[in-house]
Amino acid sequence: MDSEEMTQLLHEIILDYNQQGAIHSGLDYDEIKSFLGPFTSEDPGGVSAVENAIRAYLKTSVRTDHPAFLRAFWGGSEPASVVASLISDIRNTTMHSYAVAPSATIVETEMIKAISELAGFPGYGIFTTGGSNSNEMGFLCAREEALPGSSKTGIGNERLCAFSSAESHYSVDAAANMMGIGTDSLIRIPCVDGKMDPAALNDAIIEAKERGDCPFIVLSTAGTTVRGAFDDLDAISDIAQAHGIWHHVDAAWGGAVLFSKKYKFLLDGLERADSFSFDAHKMLGSSMVCSAFIVQDEAILPLTMAHTNQGDYLFDDPNRELSLGRISPQCGRRADALKLWLTWLDLGTKGLGERVESCLDVSNHLANLVKNHEDFTLVSHSFSNVCIRFTPQSGETQEEGDIRIRKARNILENSGKSMVLDSVLDGLLVIRFTASHPSVDKAAAEKFLSDLLDADA
Ligand SMILES: Cc1ncc(COP(=O)(O)O)c(C=O)c1O
């Protein structure tokens, strides 16, 4: 395929981007597989083979920009982000060395500074493979702070333990697993209305110290995955500071409010934390992935990533200090920051803030409808997350209520009416609605509710 043929194909892809279609193909695994194949080819298939494959892919993949796509914290990408992804591919480089990625390094550095400025941080950090990886970076920096030199020596016989709320994301368990302390070393603190209980946290830290364990990180969540709750960041910073423990904030979901004058207060106290995770690929519309790990103390990153000294041959240009590979766990790394850069230029801080506010308007609207509808019970509403249950029929057990939820969710998804998650909250299975992309407007929320009711019929 030559570049002219590539241009032709790109044109076709853009036409598809601008079209509306069914949310999913309705095909099963084998049917999708036979549509997509062949997967390899002995002989060159040229542009026609590629074109067939692209058509099959577009036909069989989920349209996450659909107004009924409510399953995730993201949806269709902003046009500027799509273009940014493309230029990242066209100049195909890696972020490890300034020499091979001068402009991308500057863009990434400036994006880190810009996010930091919104958060009241000094402006250090690195783009990562996602919120999960950013949380893991928080764990690693906290370990290095608690046990200086442990990037080289390991943790020896120290019984490190971490704390996060009972409702924090499973990537926190992943971080404990990946850094070798095991998920049993993650102590999950009970919540009140989805927020970590600061008094219970304080007690748990004291108990851990009395047991001879070494508390090294408290991870609070700004926007929990199911309920959308924001932990009290000030109260948790008070406790972390009193005990000399690292405080990391998982703002992968709720961090988007940094752009909104109206909702920024939800992150009050963030500026006191030691580090935080921030995903631009969720409510802000950057395409997958566009995530940053931001830290107060510039010095901790090279210490935590001291193993990169072994890769010194990569950074040996005169601008070694500028090479971001020295502070990243990755060697090859895409220029993901370009997606936030171009989207920010396109929409402005104002436009990104409006994007967030209109998502929250839609969720508020849906929550009000649910609250005033006798067939539904509003189990919880916080941020963009609206958790819904059917009002119990007379004599209905909790288990029967759970079955109604699961059945309705499956009917919605199988029929292609909408894709939404169910999840357990306070022991109950609930439908979790979130508005996280602009196609989900008030009309889409109303249609979702009426489809949900029909699915229970
Ligand atoms: C609160 C929270 N933290 C972290 C993550 C993980 O983010 P990512 O999918 O970018 O790894 C999620 C994902 O939804 C999340 O809800």
The answer on 376 and 328 residing in a single domain is no
Mutate which of 129, 167, 219, 225 for ligand 1? The one with the most ligand atoms within 8 Å of its CB, which is 225
Average pLDDT over residues 75-99: 95
Does the structure show a pLDDT above 90 at 272? yes
**73 located within any domain:** no
Nearest CA to ligand 1 atom 7: 131
Q: Is 328 in the pocket of ligand 1 (CB under 6 A)?
A: no
Neighbours of 60 (CB within 10 A): 16
Q: Which tens digit of pLDDT belongs to each residue from 366-425?
A: 999 999 999 999 999 999 999 999 999 999 999 999 999 999 999 999 999 999 999 999
pLDDT of 17 reads 86
**69 located within any domain:** no
**71 located within any domain:** no
Nearest CA to ligand 1 atom 16: 225
Q: What is the CATH number of the domain that holds 96?
A: 3.40.640.10
Q: Which tens digit of pLDDT belongs to each residue from 273-285?
A: 999 999 999 999 9
Strand partners, 424: 429
Does the structure show a pLDDT above 90 at 18? no
Q: Estimate to the nearest angstrom the gap between the alpha carbon of 360 and the chain centroid.
A: 17
Radius of gyration of the chain (CA): 23
Contacts of 148 (CB under 8 A, 6+ apart): 303
Residue type, 94: T
**Could you say which of 292, 309, 342 is where a domain stops?**
342
The answer on 110 and 28 residing in a single domain is no
Distances in whole angstroms, Cα of residue 310 to Cα of each of 274, 307, 328, 331, 456 = 27, 6, 13, 12, 60
- Three-class secondary structure of residue 152 per DSSP: helix
The answer on 115 and 192 residing in a single domain is yes
Does the structure show a pLDDT above 90 at 152? yes
Residue 134 Cα to ligand 1 midpoint, Å, equals 9
- Ligand 1 atom nearest to CA at 72: 14
Average pLDDT over residues 231-240: 98
Q: Which tens digit of pLDDT belongs to each residue from 297-349?
A: 999 999 999 999 888 788 877 888 899 999 999 999 999 999 999 999 999 99
**204 located within any domain:** yes
Q: Is 73 in the pocket of ligand 1 (CB under 6 A)?
A: yes
**68 located within any domain:** no
Q: Is 286 in the pocket of ligand 1 (CB under 6 A)?
A: no
Residue 219 Cα to ligand 1 midpoint, Å, equals 13
- Ligand 1 atom nearest to CA at 134: 11
Q: Is 85 in the pocket of ligand 1 (CB under 6 A)?
A: no
d(CA 330, CA 305): 10
Contacts of 416 (CB under 8 A, 6+ apart): 22, 23, 24, 26
| Average pLDDT taken over every residue of the chain | 96
d(CA 119, CA 335): 23
Nearest C-alpha neighbor of 224 from the set 286, 164, 289: 164
Distances in whole angstroms, Cα of residue 309 to Cα of each of 41, 95, 133, 302, 430 = 41, 16, 21, 9, 49
Residue 73 Cα to ligand 1 midpoint, Å, equals 9
pLDDT of 398 reads 97
Does the structure show a pLDDT above 80 at 61? yes
- Ligand 1 atom nearest to CA at 132: 11
Q: How many residues does the chain have?
A: 457
Nearest C-alpha neighbor of 293 from the set 279, 306, 307: 279
The answer on 404 and 273 residing in a single domain is no
The answer on 436 and 359 residing in a single domain is yes
CB 115 within 8 A of CB 337: no
**352 located within any domain:** yes
Q: Is 278 in the pocket of ligand 1 (CB under 6 A)?
A: no
Does the structure show a pLDDT above 80 at 222? yes
Nearest C-alpha neighbor of 16 from the set 49, 59, 80: 59
d(CA 114, CA 140): 24
CA angle 429, 435, 438 (to 5 degrees): 155
- Ligand 1 atom nearest to CA at 73: 14
Backbone dihedral angles phi then psi of residue 40, each to the nearest 5 degrees: -135, 170
pLDDT of 312 reads 79
**76 located within any domain:** no
Q: Is 131 in the pocket of ligand 1 (CB under 6 A)?
A: yes
DSSP string, 276-303: EEEETTSTT-PPS--EEEEES-TTHHHH
Nearest C-alpha neighbor of 219 from the set 231, 210, 211, 228: 231
The answer on 312 and 183 residing in a single domain is yes
Distances in whole angstroms, Cα of residue 322 to Cα of each of 80, 91, 104, 293, 295 = 27, 19, 11, 17, 17
**74 located within any domain:** no
pLDDT of 311 reads 83
CA angle 386, 391, 392 (to 5 degrees): 135
Mutate which of 134, 191, 221, 253 for ligand 1? The one with the most ligand atoms within 8 Å of its CB, which is 253
| pLDDT grade for 259, boundaries at 50, 70 and 90 | very high
Q: Is 275 in the pocket of ligand 1 (CB under 6 A)?
A: no
Nearest C-alpha neighbor of 449 from the set 382, 378, 355, 401: 378
The answer on 154 and 138 residing in a single domain is yes
| Domain region containing 179 | 83-342
Nearest CA to ligand 1 atom 5: 131
Task: Look at strands 195-196 and 191-192 and give their pairing.
Answer: antiparallel
Residue 351 Cα to ligand 1 midpoint, Å, equals 23
The answer on 110 and 259 residing in a single domain is yes
Residue 284 Cα to ligand 1 midpoint, Å, equals 14
pLDDT of 58 reads 94
Residue 72 Cα to ligand 1 midpoint, Å, equals 10
Contacts of 218 (CB under 8 A, 6+ apart): 162, 163, 164, 201, 205, 236, 239, 240, 245, 246, 247, 248
d(CA 371, CA 363): 12
Tokens at residue 81, please? 């982000």
**Could you say which of 325, 342, 359 is where a domain stops?**
342
CB 121 within 8 A of CB 294: yes
CB 84 within 8 A of CB 339: yes
The answer on 333 and 203 residing in a single domain is yes
The answer on 206 and 262 residing in a single domain is yes
| pLDDT grade for 171, boundaries at 50, 70 and 90 | very high
- Three-class secondary structure of residue 421 per DSSP: strand
% of the chain with per-residue pLDDT over 90: 95
pLDDT of 153 reads 96
Contacts of 206 (CB under 8 A, 6+ apart): none
Nearest C-alpha neighbor of 320 from the set 23, 97, 37: 97
**Could you say which of 342, 359, 391 is where a domain stops?**
342
The answer on 330 and 217 residing in a single domain is yes
Domains of the chain: total: 3
Tokens at residue 78, please? 């902003």
Q: What is the CATH number of the domain that holds 378?
A: 3.90.1150.170
The answer on 381 and 322 residing in a single domain is no
